[in-house]
Amino acid sequence: MKIIGILGGIASGKSTVAELFRQRGAVVANADQMGHQLLKDEAAKQEIRESFGSEIFAEDGEVDRRRLAARVFGGDDLSHKRLAELEKITHPRIKTSLQAKIDSALNDPNGAPPALIMDAALLVKAGWSDICDYLVFIDTPYPDRLKYATQRGWGEAEFNAREAVQEKLEEKRALSDYIIRNDGDLTQLDAQVEQYWRDRVLFPTT
């Protein structure tokens, strides 16, 4: 089983590409979803309450992600400190979940899948890229990314604030061993995933 990490900027199409790999038989580990799940864990909630106070909890006792996001993606020094504090609580738990997903795929009684796709925006920043055998960079023009992010309700300020606390795109590109260009339609994206799947996953020449 090859472990393939997907790199790219915000709204570059990482999850879309991961889904196209899933349709071909890969297992997908989605770190954003794992991050959402762990916010429901009582021990994690307690640590978050101690660091961020009760104000970021909704009336139902769950973390209000919008309020927490407003605390950590403010762009100033205090927000950076708070983000580091949040990552100290969340990242070790996300790593445990990623590892569990890998172990479960490897031990699938029907046989391990040909590939496991790591869909994790912070693959490099969090040090999880070391788990990957290969890194694929999704190269998507800024205006397209902004358009896709806007369509899901983010303003340009929110987009830029989050991107500013991620690894630089050039760094991610330089670390990758393959580039998928996402500057066309979904059919063109699918064709590139198909080529990668055939040439690098199912029938690699090296």
Ligand X SMILES: Nc1ncnc2c1ncn2[C@@H]1O[C@H](COP(=O)(O)OP(=O)(O)OP(=O)(O)O)[C@@H](O)[C@H]1O
Residue number of the CB atom closest to ligand X: 148
Q: How far apart are CA 23 and CA 115, in angstroms?
A: 12
15 annotated to bind ligand? yes
The option from ligand COD, ligand X, none interacting with 8 (CB < 5 to 8 A, set by class) reads: ligand X
13 annotated to bind ligand? yes
Distance of CA 134 to the CA centre of its chain: 15
| Binding pattern for the stretch 116-155 against ligand COD, x by CB under 6 A and - elsewhere | ----xxx---------------------------------
Q: Does 117 bind ligand X (CB under 6 A)?
A: no
11 annotated to bind ligand? yes
Region binding ligand COD by CB under 6 A among candidate stretches 17-25, 82-90, 103-111, 173-181: 82-90
Which lies closer to ligand COD via its Cβ, residue 62 or residue 199?
A: 62
The tokens of 49 are what? 């309450």
Report the residue from 5, 7, 16, 128 that binds ligand X according to the rule CB under 6 A: 16
Comparing C-alpha atoms, which of 55, 75, 50, 57 is closest to residue 166? 75
Q: Which residues bind ligand COD (CB under 6 A)?
A: 10, 31-32, 35, 65, 68-69, 72, 83, 86-87, 90, 94, 120-122, 162, 165-166
Binding site for ATP, by residue number, is 11-16
